Amino acid sequence: MRGTTRRSAARRGLLVLAASSVGTAVGCGGPEFADPTEEGDRLTLGGLVYIILHDNLEQAETCGPDYATTLELDRDRFVRTFDHAISEDIVDASIRMLRDQQQVSSGRPFFLYLPFGAPHCPFHAPPEFIDRYAGRFDDGWDLHRRATYERQLEMGIITKGTDLPPPSNAVPAWDSLDVDAQRLYARLQETFCGFVDHTDAQIGRLMDALHEMGITDDTAVIFLSDNGASAEGGKHGTTNTERFRNMMFMEVDEMLDDIPHMGSRHTDPHYPIGWSQAGNAPFQRWKRDTHRGGNTDPMIVHWPAQIPDADRGAIRTQ
Over residues 55-109, the pLDDT tens digits come to 333 322 333 333 333 444 444 443 444 455 788 888 999 999 999 999 987 778 8
16 pLDDT tier (thresholds 50, 70, 90): confident
The pLDDT tens digits of the residues spanning 222-240 come to: 999 888 899 999 999 999 9
295 pLDDT tier (thresholds 50, 70, 90): confident
Give the domains, in start order, of the chain with CATH numbers.
9-311 (3.40.720.10)
Which residue blocks in the chain are alpha helix, DSSP H? 75-80, 86-104, 127-131, 141-155, 179-213, 241-245, 252-255, 273-279
The whole-number pLDDT of residue 185 equals 98
59-64 and 67-72: which strand pairing? antiparallel
54 pLDDT tier (thresholds 50, 70, 90): very low
47-53 and 13-19: which strand pairing? unpaired
Contact criterion met (CB below 8 Å) for 49 and 98? yes
Indicate the range of 41-45, 106-110, 265-269 predicted with least confidence: 41-45
- HSE-CB for 22 with a 13 A CA cutoff: 3
Which pTM was predicted?
0.80
Can you tell me the distance from the alpha carbon of 255 to that of 191, in angstroms, rounded to the nearest whole number?
14
Cis peptide before 122 (omega within 30 of 0): yes
Residue 202 has pLDDT above 80, yes or no: yes
